[in-house]
A and B are shown apart, each in its own frame.
Chain A
């Protein structure tokens, strides 16, 4: 039975780990996207305040 248990554990464990890794990467990218949007808004605001045209 240990081969069967190992087979199930490896197959389903790998799928679960991969899904978790995907979720983590997705969340990290979304967070980074939010930070970038904030940074861009800041640059735009600075340009408006200093009278230098942004984009």
Chain B
């Protein structure tokens, strides 16, 4: 996996460097656009990745997360990683487009349908990222974010068809438009194609690393809880006593309010904690199994702790 990632990273780096070299120094200026055509070796590629690759990945992952049969943290993490990159690429699309628009159209920005719908997409993606930072139970957060990603994905076809549905300053499809029969020749065509490959490879590398980060972050959160539970557990359990649930079990109880209920019921009505609750345990969902059971054990519990 690591070797694969290194190969993709190096290939992306080499392809990007080659695109820059070809785009800035080798290719000739366009007959109509002049030197500004050089920005088009990057801008459409970045927009393509932002809209269709990152946007599609985020929407697909979110659907797979919401579908009960395929629900897994993997899809949630992948969606989060894709949306963050979609937001970055979307912002870069707007900036590079603006830098191309100033010398070509004479304005930095215009309320054109393509530009406005792309800006709206960026706002929606940033909204997703903000929603992800709202503290909540991981499952609830994942569900909310999946819905938010699908709402943002609705804007993708609007961006795509904006140049067809409305009269816009932004040009419509050019190379793949059969009516235009446009041909890009020689080094310009290869540079354009290489730009797409380079940005795509960069995206694959970035999204994989970003996914790893999400996994590590989740593990770090889980480990903190595990340590808190272990310490809390060790406070009052004498050596040789019946062993308490292992950490993964404790985690499962702590992370699910439903699982914690039977333990609380077994322990008897209205258990009174003998010691002050540890914030990490209380915050994790609850009066988790081990703590509640010990509390329910009655007055015999406190001396155990002193021992």
Which A residues are within 8 Å of any B CB, using their own CB?
1, 3-4, 6-8, 10-12, 14-15, 18-19, 22-23, 25-26, 29-30, 32-33, 36-37, 39-40, 43-44, 47, 51-55
B residues less than 8 Å from A19 (CB atoms): 205-206, 209
Contact between chains at B209 and A26 (CB < 8 Å): yes
Contact between chains at B99 and A15 (CB < 8 Å): no
Name 23 A/B residue pairs within 8 A (Cβ), A-sorted.
A3-B36, A3-B39, A4-B38, A7-B39, A7-B96, A11-B92, A11-B96, A14-B91, A15-B206, A19-B205, A22-B206, A22-B213, A26-B212, A29-B217, A33-B223, A36-B220, A40-B227, A43-B230, A44-B230, A53-B234, A53-B237, A54-B234, A55-B244
A residues less than 8 Å from B102 (CB atoms): 3
Contact between chains at B213 and A29 (CB < 8 Å): yes
Bound: A10/B99 CA distance, A:
10
Residue of B nearest to A10 (CB): B95
Contact between chains at A43 and B237 (CB < 8 Å): no
Nearest-Cβ distance from residue A41 to partner chain B, whole angstroms: 11
A15 and B96 contact, Cβ closer than 8 Å, known pairs A43-B227, A52-B234: no
Q: Which of B68-109 contact A (CB under 8 A)?
A: 88, 91-92, 95-96, 99-100, 102-103
Contact between chains at A39 and B95 (CB < 8 Å): no
A15 and B202 contact, Cβ closer than 8 Å, known pairs A53-B238, A53-B239: yes
Looking at the complex, which one of B35, B202, B230 makes contact with A1 (CB distance below 8 Å)? B35
Nearest-Cβ distance from residue B39 to partner chain A, whole angstroms: 5
- Per CB-CB distance, the 9 closest pairs between chain A and chain B, nearest first, are A7-B99, A29-B216, A51-B239, A7-B39, A55-B230, A7-B96, A4-B38, A3-B99, A22-B209
A7 and B237 contact, Cβ closer than 8 Å, known pairs A22-B210, A36-B223: no
A7 and B42 contact, Cβ closer than 8 Å, known pairs A19-B206, A29-B217, A55-B230: yes
B residues less than 8 Å from A53 (CB atoms): 234, 237-241, 243-244
Contact between chains at B38 and A11 (CB < 8 Å): no
B residues less than 8 Å from A51 (CB atoms): 238-239
A residues less than 8 Å from B241 (CB atoms): 53
